[in-house]
């Protein structure tokens, strides 16, 4: 019988809630928490262990060092902090310098699993985790626009008064200000979103789609304004990605994947819908885009390319 093992590097607000979400959902059997502040990792592990008596499944949880992650199936990288200046791109230098201190070591120690990257700016950091590790691109995945996609479905659910699980809509591009909502192929209750909104305009009202897109892209800052962090949504985003891998679900979710000509772009990681399974990212789904969406996605890709080049200096 296989034991599903996950290591988390960085267990502040984000990493600790990734751990808690995985424990609550039974996503893994063993969890190792690592942090530069060793007492924090130890305390988070003890706190997480206190939940086990209340759950229908058992997870072994412990703190550890980088050396303890060699036999993990998945390593989640969640180091770093959200910046107060509302620009994730400004975290780039510190994030790149930090991952350089442990990614090569993990690979040298013999890790052969899958990296899941949360650290911001996530698309660029995921690119450099792949470069530093030398792993195939399918085994290095960023959470990308996974959380933004959940926020889009939440907003549409609030507007339509329908369950978000009945809404199929994706945010594409950077996990940041340049992301774009793919309204043109979104569906609600299996009906095209734009058609549904038009048919129900009398009850829903006329919507400003670009304003809705902006509302989603700025969602993190509404949360940050009151608590100086985001944690619950990204915890579930991470757990969902991990479960997809372990259960070989072959389900389409939004994440940061490496483009090889999809959407007429290549050589970068960026938020796209993809099939996730036991082998990691198994296929990128190329959605049809209207002209507005194509232009915005192109701008987002160009911005990521610019910052990838900039990070070469760090």
- Strand ordering across the sheet containing 191-192: 167-168, 187-188, 191-192
Of 13-27, 96-110, 198-212, where does mean pLDDT reach its minimum?
198-212
Mean pLDDT across the chain = 95
Handedness of CA 18, 274, 271, 301 (dihedral sign): positive
Domain 5-142, classified CATH 3.30.460.80, yes or no: no
Of 34-38, 128-132, 198-202, 236-240, where does mean pLDDT reach its minimum? 198-202
Q: What's residue 43's pLDDT? A: 98
Residues of the chain with CATH 3.90.110.10: 146-311
Instruction: Write down the pLDDT at residue 84.
Output: 58
Could you read off the pLDDT of 258-281 as tens digits, one per residue? 999 999 999 999 999 999 999 999
Counted residue by residue, the chain has a size of 314
| Mean pLDDT calculated for residue range 226-246 | 95
pLDDT band at 205 (very low <50, low <70, confident <90, very high): confident
**How do the residues of the chain divide into helix, strand and coil, expressed in percent and rounded to 5?**
50, 20, 30
Hey, which CATH number is domain 146-311, 3.90.1150.10, 3.30.70.890, 3.40.50.11540, 3.90.110.10?
Answer: 3.90.110.10
Who wins on pLDDT, 207 or 250? 250
Give the residue with greater pLDDT, 86 vs 77: 77
How far apart, in Å, are the Cα atoms of 146 and each of 29, 38, 44, 143, 291? 24, 30, 25, 6, 23
Per-residue pLDDT, 89: 82
Domain with CATH 3.40.50.720 in the chain: 5-142
CB atoms within 10 A of CB 117: 31
Q: Residue 83 has what pLDDT?
A: 63
85 — pLDDT class (breaks 50, 70, 90): low
Q: Place 2 in a pLDDT band, splitting at 50, 70 and 90.
A: confident
DSSP-assigned letters across all residues of 217-284: HTHHHHHHHHHS---HHHHHHHHHHHHHHHTT--EEEEEEEEEESGGG-EEEEEEEEEEEETTEEEEE
Query: 124 near 311, Cβ under 8 Å?
Result: yes
Percent of the chain with pLDDT over 90: 87
Decide if pLDDT at 99 tops 70: yes
Q: Which residues have C-beta within 8 Å of that of residue 114, sequence separation ≥ 6?
A: 73, 74, 75, 139, 140, 141, 245, 280
Catalytic residue among 57, 137, 175, 247: 175
Could you read off the pLDDT of 149-177 as tens digits, one per residue?
999 999 999 999 999 999 999 999 999 99
- Cα 20 from chain centre: 16
- What's 90's DSSP letter? G
Q: Is the model's pTM score more than 0.75?
A: yes
**Burial letters 244-254, b for 16+ CB under 10 A, else e:** bbbeeeeebbb
pLDDT for residue 82: 62
Catalytic-residue membership of 175: yes
Output the pLDDT for position 147: 97
Q: What is the mean pLDDT of residues 174-198?
A: 95
């Amino acid at each position: 019988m296989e034991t599903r093992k996950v290591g988390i590097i960085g267990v502040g607000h984000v990493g600790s809630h990734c751990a808690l979400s995985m424990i609550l959902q039974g996503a893994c059997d063993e969890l190792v928490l690592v942090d530069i502040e060793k007492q924090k990792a130890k305390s988070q592990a003890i706190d997480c262990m206190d939940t086990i008596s209340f759950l229908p499944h058992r997870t072994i949880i412990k703190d550890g060092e980088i050396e303890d992650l060699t036999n993990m199936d998945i390593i989640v990288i969640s180091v770093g902090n959200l910046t107060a200046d509302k620009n994730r791109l400004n975290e780039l230098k510190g994030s790149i310098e930090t991952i350089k201190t442990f990614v090569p070591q993990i690979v040298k120690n013999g890790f052969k699993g899958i990296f899941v990257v949360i650290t911001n700016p996530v698309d660029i950091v995921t690119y450099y985790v792949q470069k530093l590790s030398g792993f195939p691109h399918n085994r290095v995945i960023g959470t990308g626009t996974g959380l933004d996609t959940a926020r889009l479905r939440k907003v549409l659910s609030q507007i339509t008064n329908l369950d978000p699980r009945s809404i199929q809509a994706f945010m594409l591009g950077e996990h940041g200000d340049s992301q774009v909502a793919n309204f043109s192929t979104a569906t609600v209750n299996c009906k095209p979103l734009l058609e549904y909104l038009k048919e129900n305009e009398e009850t829903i009202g006329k919507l400003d789609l670009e304003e809705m897109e902006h509302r989603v892209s700025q969602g993190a800052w509404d949360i940050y304004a009151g608590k100086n962090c985001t944690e619950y949504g990204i915890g579930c985003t991470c757990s969902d990605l991990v479960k997809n891998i372990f259960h070989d679900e072959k389900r389409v979710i939004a994440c940061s994947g490496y483009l090889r000509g999809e959407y007429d772009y290549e050589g970068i990681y960026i938020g796209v819908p993809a099939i996730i399974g036991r082998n990691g990212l198994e296929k990128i789904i190329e959605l049809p885009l209207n002209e507005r969406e194509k232009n915005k996605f192109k701008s987002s890709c160009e911005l990521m390319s610019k910052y990838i080049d900039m990070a070469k200096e760090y």
